[in-house]
């Protein structure tokens, strides 16, 4: 049974934002049982954990003699080893992988930058001036995604690992209110959150926060 690592004390207060959520969701989608090893912030910087993740973060994935870090790599590995997250058609499969990269490389950077500013820069003298710039960068990407998504249920036909990664990235915008400006994207995220596998993963991550009383 594979083992993943997750925060011992959840900084997102159990809202499903920590990146182990992506791996949990993928494991639930493919029906693969898994164990979780909780790690503290201090333990993440210790040699034992750094041997698994050179940047001292979570999650990591261990299965036999295979150890992986980075959620994109882990989810892609699971999608390649199990049915349900990548299409059978070769071209559709490659497009799903392209959407995984788009979520992580095109959408996530400006979203994370906005989120970090909202969390840690509110008391800065330049925050009020910088915030609209960061918001506009995200709006541009959301507009581009909206035009491509249209009224489709998922990004490219059936639900895939591309949708899984995209939904988890877009959920990071919940505190910003920007998703409300794009009803089609908000509905897309809601469809992802309504999937039974997502709900199981969310409840599992929330249980860590609830149990710790963080």
Per the listing, tokens 């309504």 go with 194
Per the listing, tokens 């049974």 go with 1
Question: Closest Cα partner for 17 from 167, 155, 137, 146?
Answer: 167
Counting as low any pLDDT under 50, the low residues of the chain are: none
Amino acid 102: pLDDT: 98
Amino acid 110: pLDDT: 97
Amino acid 213: pLDDT: 58
């Amino acid at each position: 049974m594979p083992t993943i690592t997750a925060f011992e004390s959840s900084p997102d207060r159990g809202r499903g934002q920590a990146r182990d959520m992506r791996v949990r969701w993928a494991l639930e989608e493919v029906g693969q049982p898994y164990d979780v090893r909780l790690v503290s912030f201090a333990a993440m910087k210790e040699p034992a954990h750094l041997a698994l993740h050179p940047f001292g973060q979570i999650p990591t994935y261990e299965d036999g003699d295979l150890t992986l870090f980075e959620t994109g790599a882990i989810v892609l590995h699971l999608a390649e080893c199990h049915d349900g997250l990548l299409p059978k058609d070769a071209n559709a499969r490659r497009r799903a992988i392209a959407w995984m990269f788009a979520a992580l490389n095109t959408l996530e950077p400006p979203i994370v930058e906005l989120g970090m500013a909202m969390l840690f820069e509110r008391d800065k003298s330049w925050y009020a001036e910088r915030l609209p710039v960061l918001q506009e960068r995200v709006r541009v990407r959301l507009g581009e995604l909206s035009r491509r998504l249209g009224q489709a249920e998922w990004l490219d036909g059936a639900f895939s690992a591309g949708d899984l990664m995209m939904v988890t990235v877009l959920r990071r915008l919940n505190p910003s209110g920007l998703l409300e400006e794009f009803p089609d994207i908000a509905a897309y995220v809601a469809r992802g959150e309504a999937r039974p596998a997502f709900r199981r993963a969310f409840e599992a991550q929330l249980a860590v926060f609830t149990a710790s009383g963080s």
